[in-house]
Amino acid sequence: MAGSNPSPGTTPGTPRVLRAMNDRAALDLLLAHGPLSRTTIGTLTGLSKPTASQLLARLESAGLVVATGTTEGRPGPNAQLYEVNARAAFAAGMDVTPLRIRAAVADLTGRTVGEFELPTPGRRAESAVGRVGEALDGAARAAGITSADVRRLVIGTPGAFDPSTGRLRYASHLPGWHSPALLDELAAALPMPVEYENDVNLVAVAEQRLGVARGHGNFVLLWNEEGLGAALVIGGRLHRGSTGGAGEVGFLPVPGTPLVRGVIKANSGGFQELAGAQVLPRLARELGVAGVDQGHYAKVAAALVADAAAADSGPNRQFLDEYATGLATGLASLVAVLDPELVVLSGEAIAAGGEPLLGRVRAELAELAAPRPRLVIGSVREHPVLRGALESALATTRDEVFDTSVPRDPG
């Protein structure tokens, strides 16, 4: 039987709660393994055939599972297969940057069924709520549903909303998201519960659920793309800090950069001036790397790192060495305090360097810090912020929808 928190008004150990625990165990197995027969579900949960049959009938009546095909190619009669009803609920996620909002809707199995991207260059505060609604509506239409069908939305932004004030901090470069009434306005405008999370934290959620951090309860994720930040997972949970600012390591004072005071107002200084994607084009020019392109710094930086990783010598090789040293310098402070079992390096400006960059960072970190965490490059490469937002929204949605200890209307 799977463990579950009983709903208010129920007593642990009562038949209703025990049935709900068995139901959740079966639903989790169906999510993990796909269509299963009654016999297989009984074997995996330890339930008798009659009890497994009653369980499936109960879940089918509640609209949580559907019959789908039969077993083939085995001795004896074909057995009916069951799977989670993908359309029993939908969850949505958003990835917000200064230039666009990327939204997606997933069904209950986690499959992305609708996506939409809304460009937002130069938009101002008064349209922030409308932009979120427009992006959500677009993703819902692409999924063949309406926004009212979405059970929960998780929005990922740079910075973090301070839980004591509701104000967005550490993201002055995100226009339109700093109104003190913004969260109330969004709650009033949207038909579902909304949660807000730092974008880098959501990348860590994606890696923990789907990527290289699966099975790890303590790790640090360093993200280098639009900005330089970190996510801290301790005891299996994200550590956000009292203001949501845990992991804002872009402002971390490090050797090799001037000491900047008033970093929030300046939006500069520290680790990001040593190894952030925005400084890499300038570093390449200073070292004499040829053909430094114009364009958005994150894309230019990723291209420079990819070229450098393929070089054996010369300015490109020197560029990669200095970048690795910069990354290791900031990481040394993090691992000295946290001593994580794993460090995940993520973002285009890191992933482009592959093993050549990873090896250099690993060697430098071994010289600069006493702890010896395992270093890996993140494996969730396609829209990791959005994927993390969907995974976060799905986790809460499943907890709600899969709780059968409370009678519900299947319609």
Q: What is the pLDDT of residue 215?
A: 92
Calculate mean pLDDT across residues 204-228. 95
Q: What is the pLDDT of residue 7?
A: 52
User: What share of the chain has pLDDT > 90, as a percent?
Assistant: 74
Q: How far is CA 382 from the centre of its chain?
A: 11
Cα–Cα distance measured from residue 62 to residue 91, given in angstroms and rounded to the nearest whole number: 19
Calculate mean pLDDT across residues 33-47. 93
Query: Hey, is 341 helix, strand or coil?
Result: coil
Strand 374-377 and strand 342-346: the pairing is: parallel
Mean per-residue pLDDT of the chain: 90
**Which tokens in the block code for residue 31?**
């999510």
Phi, psi of 384 (to 5 degrees): -65, -35
Query: Which one is predicted more confidently, 350 or 176?
Result: 350
Of 53-62, 158-167, 372-381, give the lowest mean pLDDT range.
158-167
> What are the DSSP E strand ranges found in 279-382?
342-346, 374-377
pLDDT in tens, 351-375: 999 999 999 999 999 999 999 999 9
| Contact present, 383 and 205 (Cβ < 8 Å) | no
Q: What is the pLDDT of residue 4?
A: 46
Calculate mean pLDDT across residues 253-264. 83
For residue 408, pLDDT over 70 is answered with no
Q: What is the pLDDT of residue 407?
A: 65
Q: What is the pLDDT of residue 411?
A: 47
* pTM > 0.85: yes
Q: What is the pLDDT of residue 1?
A: 43
Closest alpha carbon to 102 in 113, 116, 122: 116
Find residue 169's DSSP bridge partners: 160
For residue 405, pLDDT over 90 is answered with no
pLDDT in tens, 245-257: 899 898 899 998 8
Packing angle of the helix pair 199-210, 384-401 (nearest 10 deg): 70
Calculate mean pLDDT across residues 179-206. 94
Closest alpha carbon to 319 in 349, 346, 351, 286: 286
Q: What is the pLDDT of residue 169?
A: 86
For residue 266, pLDDT over 70 is answered with no
Q: What is the pLDDT of residue 8?
A: 53
pLDDT in tens, 107-164: 999 999 999 999 987 665 457 899 999 999 999 999 999 999 999 999 999 988 988 8
- Residue 3: pLDDT band (50, 70, 90) is very low
For residue 176, pLDDT over 60 is answered with yes
Closest alpha carbon to 353 in 336, 328, 373: 328
Q: How far is CA 157 from the centre of its chain?
A: 11
For residue 9, pLDDT over 90 is answered with no
